């Protein structure tokens, strides 16, 4: 398996990171093949066979387990819960299927509309950030929760989570982020029913 092999941490192409989908039958699909560098489509990923999904590149492996939504960033496991005074709502770590996967790139484009000897314009684009994650609807205790978590990797800045939570009831609690089972941070995050709460958290 790709994510079990610590030697595989580099993109096979000039792009800094590529996505990798691992399947339960020990096969995988990657954005670019490691042998012939041929491109594959995100839409060809078989979500019914998926067990792990993430990014490889720049000496890193970044992925989440489809069976529980827990992220692994270079062997550090990151999990999230929403906690009120009397109840914990585990956003990850439950035996749900987190297979509504998301990946995209942020990019900037430079345009040179005219240049010497030509009437045609030129456009060049540069990727500034890679993103990978999922969205999930879940029923936890007395609440129906829509949860989206995307791990973003910008150039020359620290990686961070983009977290979005919506509940069908008011909740007065905090977001608890754990690294390898220990609390890494707690963020006050009261939620109003049917209104999305959004926050970014820098990976520490």
> pLDDT of 39-96, one tens digit each?
999 999 999 999 999 999 999 999 999 999 999 999 999 999 999 999 999 999 988 8
DSSP state, 143? Answer: E
Residue 125 pLDDT class (50, 70, 90 cuts): confident
**Degrees to nearest 5, angle at CA 131 with 127 and 137:** 155
Amino acid 156: pLDDT: 86
Q: How far is 169 from 175, CA to CA, in rounded Å?
A: 16
**Burial grade of 57 (CB within 10 A; 0-12, 13-18, 19 or more):** buried
User: What are the sequence ranges of the domains in the chain?
Assistant: 67-202
Mean pLDDT of the chain: 93
92-95: long-range contacts, CB 8 A cutoff, minimum separation 24: 92/68, 92/149, 93/68, 93/69, 94/68, 94/69, 94/138, 94/140, 95/67, 95/68
pLDDT at residue 189 in the model: 96
For residue range 9-30, list pLDDT tens digits in order.
999 999 999 999 999 999 999 9
Confidence of residue 115 (pLDDT cuts 50, 70, 90): low
- Tokens at 3, concatenated: 């994510």
Q: Which of 83, 78, 57, 55 is nearest to 68 (CA)?
A: 78
Does pLDDT of 120 surpass 60? no
């Amino acid at each position: 398996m790709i994510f079990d092999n610590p030697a595989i941490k580099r993109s096979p192409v000039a792009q800094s990171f590529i996505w990798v989908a691992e399947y339960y039958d020990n096969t995988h699909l990657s954005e670019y093949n490691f042998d012939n560098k041929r491109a594959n489509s995100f839409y060809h990923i078989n979500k019914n066979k998926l067990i792990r999904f993430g990014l490889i590149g720049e000496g890193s492996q970044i992925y989440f387990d489809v069976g529980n939504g827990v992220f692994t960033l270079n062997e550090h496991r990151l999990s999230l819960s929403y906690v009120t005074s009397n109840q914990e709502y585990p956003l990850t770590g439950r035996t749900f299927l987190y297979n509504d996967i998301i990946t995209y790139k942020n990019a900037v484009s430079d345009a040179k509309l005219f240049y010497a000897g030509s009437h045609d314009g030129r456009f060049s684009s540069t990727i500034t950030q890679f993103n990978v994650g999922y969205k999930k609807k879940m029923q936890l205790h007395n609440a129906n929760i829509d949860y989206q978590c995307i791990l973003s990797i910008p150039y020359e800045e620290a990686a961070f989570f983009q977290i979005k939570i919506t509940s069908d009831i008011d909740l007065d609690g905090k977001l608890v982020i754990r690294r390898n089972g220990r609390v890494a941070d707690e963020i006050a995050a009261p939620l109003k029913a049917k209104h999305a709460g959004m926050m970014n958290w820098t990976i520490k």
